[in-house]
Structure 1
């Protein structure tokens, strides 16, 4: 603890308050960044979050933007490189999104792998590898992303996608 050698009780009381405030702030920060890190890896959380990803991709393959939105949490954040895009409300997919995708030869998207890399009671981080494929099931492109699925108000939804 910091002690002031020259000033008596007032300075020592002030130093005590500063020290306690700093300790409290640090304790709050440690609690925030370590929330859930001591919890066991829970298969039920992974399964529920994975089911959300499956539903999202099913709706994506059906070209159903509203159905995709139903599997997202809002605000929804997407990161591409250092660029951030935030959708505050549903209904933000461009109207020509699926037409533009189909123009590339796209027919459907398939998960190649999905690995949970960080799990807590209300959040699962996945490294997702998926491929975009044509009608002959040939790979057009492969993508590796980080997606974060969170439990809010009793519902699992995708909160962040990083491309």
Structure 2
């Protein structure tokens, strides 16, 4: 079991870890490229499981890959969606193995018109050398 005192107080770092931010940011980019390709398997490859999502006070946990609803992209496309685009990805808390991002992205139609704008907290972690998104808060 993890010692609570070390869990809440990881060793201090003298400066932000730019390599961790870059690697974690690349993971988010790969996830969104897969999202734009409607490729749920490639999306799952960029997630850590169990994967946690928070929306308001609701919590959704996926224990394993393959949990996206089969009609997810059909419904999204029916709304006019064509692609998702990052507007900002701000690393707000950084350690060697975890980066918290405040992510602002837009959903756009074929003409590039913004359909909606979202600002979320996404946390990417490095587990066994692999960066993946561990938590998304909507």
Report the TM-score when normalising by structure 2. 0.96
Which structure has the larger Rg?
A: 1
Query: For the residues of structure 2 that align with 1:32 and 1:97, how far apart are their CA atoms?
Result: 36
Which is richer in helix? 1
Unpaired stretches in structure 1, ≥5 consecutive residues: 1-27
1:75-106: CA deviation from partner (whole Å, max 9, x where unpaired): 00000000000000000000000000000000
For residue 121 of structure 1, report the CA deviation from its aligned partner: 0.7
Q: How far did 1:32 drift?
A: 1.8
Q: 1:48 corresponds to which residue?
A: 23
Q: What is the root-mean-square deviation in Å for CA atoms of aligned residues?
A: 0.8
Distance 2:70 2:10 in 1: 39
Partner of 2:33: 58
Pairs aligned (count):
135
Does 1 or 2 have the higher relative contact order (CA < 8 Å, sep 6+)?
Answer: 2
Q: What residue in structure 2 maps to residue 68 of structure 1?
A: 43
